Structure 1
Amino acid sequence: MTKSSKSLWARFLFQDRGILPTKRLILTYLVLTIFLSLGILRDLSWWFVFMVNIVVFFISLADLLFSAKKTQLFFKRTITEEMERGLIYLITIEIRNNSPYSLNYRFIDGLPQTFSKPFPVSGRVLADSANVITYNTVPSERGKYEINKLYIRYQSVIGLWEKQITVELPDTVRVIPDLTETKQYLENGQHFLLYEGLEIRKQQSGVGEFSKIRSFVVGDDPRKINWRQTAKLQEVMTNEYEPEHGKYITILLDCGRMMGAELKKGNRIERALEAAVTVAAAALQKGDYVSVLAFSNEIKTFVPPAKGMAHLQTILQSIYHLKVDAVESNYAAVLQYLEMMQKKRSLLLLFSDIQTFLHEENALAYLKRLRKRHLFFMIGVEDRTLLNRTKAEPIDVQATMLKSIAQQQMLYKKREKNKWERQGLPMIEAREEKLAVTAVSHYMEIMNQNLL
């Protein structure tokens, strides 16, 4: 395809720039052709046919002159610089028409392929006025994207011709993980954890620092009732204690091949990122130090430990673009790296695929050594397909075989998990929609019991 033909093809694909006939002009010529053809059958002269076509053509050109010029149109895009994956966002396009002619327009914004696109968007802007148009989009993949162009088509006064222009409107958008669960925890952490059946205040008796005095609720320890405040306020009040702050939490994110397995909503790495950010927010809010290490067959990123809610933005900017690598994870290498980088005792919270991790005998040797200094805990997404296979009815030979193999896999996983847990290396699996809740609940349980 030659350069000129590519340019012409791009023009018809709502790209490039130029002038195109509208459906009104094509329909006009179609009707005119039918009438002139009937006239030719009745001895209408070819000279008359030629003159009619010339007149209609020049009328259409005159209509083209009564349309806005490119220099008389101004465009502005307003877009959020940071979006969360899977959520709906509003984008605003402002069109200012400084010409003396009203115009009908259509436009296509230059969004990436991973964004939903409700295009073309159409409207009308009057002479010497401005129009603001909004449309919704949903980003489906994390990452950093450049949005540079806006493709516009607008018609002349009668609407026989359509001008097409391309406007440069550079914007940068970062798509980060869905923070819905993180916001739910920050708004009401007690309610967030009660969904899992664990309360923040649950801890060993007499352990922790005094936090505040609050109203007594069902389930509180009667030994912690503050009788002085109870007599003063005529309401049963209790002392609330909280764990010591300033502990170190290290979140390990597996970005290997198995983390790309698709789930009902996204894949494993998406769920792991959302849960990791929620755990980080919970730990930072409690005054703990949080570090994050992402890996596959090599170290992808490492965020040094720090505390304070401002550190959450540092973590987000470091991990929002992480993708799954088509390689096997090297657990031994990352644990060896962690042994050098993390000198202080910390909670190692690993998000990975348990089925794959159980086959790593080298990782077990490193973890035994790390266990002397750190506290290890692993969490993964349960395999619903495997669970459904174990519960399936053996209606035929094939179904029976699949059920027996699935049960064998479950027994192997249970046996291996018990072996690791006897070494002081606990691991659990959670449903994909409860991964963040389960992770935060176990973090709270570990901190409340002063295991770290």
Structure 2
Amino acid sequence: MIQFFKSLYFGRRLFYALFGISTLFLLSFWFEILYSFTWILTSILLVLLFTDIITLYSGSHIDADRILPEKFSNSDENRVEISIKNSYGFKLNAEVIDEIPVQFQKRDFLRSADLLPHNTLSFEYFLKPLNRGEYVFGNLNIYITTFLKLAKRRYVFNKDQMVKVYPSFVQMKKLDFLAMDQKISLQGIKKIRRIGHTMEFEQIKEYVRGDDVRTINWKATAKHSNLMVNQFQDERAQPVYSVIDCGRVMKMPFEGLSLLDYAINSTLAFSNVALKKKDRVGMLVFSKKIDSLKKASARLSQLNHIMEALYNINTGYLDSDFSLLYSRIKKNLSHRSLLMLYTNFEHMSGLKRQLPFLKALAKNHLLVVIFFENTEITKLTEVAPQNLSESAHQTVAEQFAHNKKLMAKELQRHGIQTLLTPPKDLSVNTINKYLEIKARGLL
């Protein structure tokens, strides 16, 4: 009985009818002929109401399901499907209220639909998350009514469904085509830069005249009683690392996403392209400490490992320690690698504090410093000032924008590759920079 009353609601038509009947009872105080007529209307309304309730609770039911993807892609439109099956033998009207996760701050979700008898209805809607993490859906509430719309019956489905929001794998798939440049892989066109003896072990074989005696494997020779040599092949896969700064400078938001989220989305897309180019990809995340380090690997599973590691990364409120970054890279990365460093500098003084460590990194590795244009300031410089105050603001904005270009020139002057980009174009520009480096044979 308690469940019955919890599921029973009344429609607007009933309240409109009750308001009209109340008005007629009031008028019957002066016009007595309305009194008996109003009681007849009241009786008819009660009969219709009980008929409506009995019809809704006649033993038939509806089934509904919220179909979620395995994971959501951050900063992209993600599809959510609602499926409703009507087991009643007549047409129903349904109002669907889905309890969307609190992160979206959406409290007015309502969809109305007609349910045909013994039929299934499906519809979809899209959600765009702006933060990584766990998103919990609440109840899927469905209120059904007959054509009378005097009473409603409430159904509740799918309590507490959880979906995880990962870095933008949708963006990664969209940019996958950038790895399909066939010209780069054609023999005789791609530039190859060889430094030293970069060879990978392939197999052990018997010595034949002309083999390098320096490659003799003495242990294998002792076992086989014949001279055995190690055979090597040219090392093709180069180590490529995405280095992400998680300090306070990466908290700045643009169009709903923080700079850190832009960097994370770019790292995933860039790593996918690098794997397609047969390079080994890795990742390092740092702030006041080293938060995560994934050694470079060319395995297909490496992309999933990077995605899982990026899932829980958050910014802090302190400045990052670039001296710690330098010492950890010097200790753990013995081979010359491509380092794509995602960070941000707003003032020349901030760059100069970190410049000695950046120069030290660039001595042993190919370093690309990626930092961001302040697009809000750029917009301000493009607006014609209307008064003296706006003119002063525009002058300051132009100075900030000019400082960004000076910082890029300063890094280039010290032989450090630089990429200054708007946040929304970060992934495309980063991949293009990587492809440029591969084409020029700098790594």
TM-score (norm 2): 0.74
Give the equivalent residue in structure 2 for 1:284: 275
Letter in 2 for 1:151: N
Counterpart contact for 2:66–2:158, Cα < 8 Å: no
Counterpart contact for 2:245–2:320, Cα < 8 Å: yes
In 1: Cα distance, 2:367 partner to 2:255 partner: 29
Q: Find the residue that maps to 1:166 and give its secondary structure.
A: strand
Give the equivalent residue in structure 2 for 1:155: 145
Q: Find the residue that maps to 2:149 and give its secondary structure.
A: coil
1:142 to 124, 131, 136: 131
1:245 to 231, 236, 252: 236
Q: Find the residue that maps to 1:424 and give its secondary structure.
A: coil
In 2: Cα distance, 1:121 partner to 1:416 partner: 52
Counterpart contact for 2:11–2:149, Cα < 8 Å: yes
Change beyond 3 A, Cα 1:46–1:173? same
1:426 aligns with 2:428: no
In 2: Cα distance, 1:56 partner to 1:407 partner: 72
Q: CA deviation at 1:422?
A: 4.1
Give the equivalent residue in structure 2 for 1:91: 80
1:269 aligns with 2:260: yes
Give the equivalent residue in structure 2 for 1:64: 53
Q: CA deviation at 1:292?
A: 1.5
1:354 aligns with 2:323: no
Give the equivalent residue in structure 2 for 1:23: 12
Q: CA deviation at 1:48?
A: 8.6
Q: CA deviation at 1:121?
A: 1.4
Give the equivalent residue in structure 1 for 2:250: 259
* Aligned CA-pair RMSD: 3.8
1:174 to 145, 161, 164: 164
Counterpart contact for 2:64–2:84, Cα < 8 Å: yes
Change beyond 3 A, Cα 1:34–1:413? closer
1:187 aligns with 2:153: no
1:332 to 299, 315, 323: 323
Number of aligned residue pairs: 397
Counterpart contact for 1:17–1:165, Cα < 8 Å: no
Change beyond 3 A, Cα 1:70–1:88? farther
Q: CA deviation at 1:352?
A: 1.4
Q: Find the residue that maps to 2:346 and give its secondary structure.
A: helix
Counterpart contact for 2:191–2:439, Cα < 8 Å: no
In 1: Cα distance, 2:107 partner to 2:185 partner: 43
Letter in 2 for 1:376: L
1:342 aligns with 2:361: no
What is the CA deviation profile of residues 400-441 of structure 1, one whole-angstrom value per residue up to 9, with x for unaligned ones?
654554555566555555554444333231234432232222
2:28 to 28, 39, 46: 39
Change beyond 3 A, Cα 1:40–1:298? farther
What is the CA deviation profile of residues 164-199 of structure 1, one whole-angstrom value per residue up to 9, with x for unaligned ones?
2322345332333444553344235367x99xxxx7
Letter in 1 for 2:71: E
1:121 aligns with 2:121: no
In 2: Cα distance, 1:72 partner to 1:414 partner: 66
Counterpart contact for 1:335–1:363, Cα < 8 Å: no
Give the equivalent residue in structure 2 for 1:212: none
TM-score (norm 1): 0.73
1:307 aligns with 2:298: yes
Q: CA deviation at 1:25?
A: 0.7
In 2: Cα distance, 1:309 partner to 1:182 partner: 15
Q: CA deviation at 1:106?
A: 0.8
Change beyond 3 A, Cα 1:314–1:117? farther
Q: CA deviation at 1:323?
A: 4.1
In 2: Cα distance, 1:203 partner to 1:256 partner: 41
Give the equivalent residue in structure 1 for 2:355: 364
Change beyond 3 A, Cα 1:188–1:426? closer
1:80 to 69, 93, 118: 69
Counterpart contact for 1:107–1:153, Cα < 8 Å: yes
What is the CA deviation profile of residues 33-72 of structure 1, one whole-angstrom value per residue up to 9, with x for unaligned ones?
2223222322369799678646744652343122147983
Counterpart contact for 1:94–1:130, Cα < 8 Å: no
Q: CA deviation at 1:277?
A: 1.9
Change beyond 3 A, Cα 1:187–1:417? closer
Q: Find the residue that maps to 2:416 and give its secondary structure.
A: coil
What is the CA deviation profile of residues 150-177 of structure 1, one whole-angstrom value per residue up to 9, with x for unaligned ones?
1121125632111223223453323334
Counterpart contact for 1:63–1:158, Cα < 8 Å: yes
Q: CA deviation at 1:31?
A: 2.1
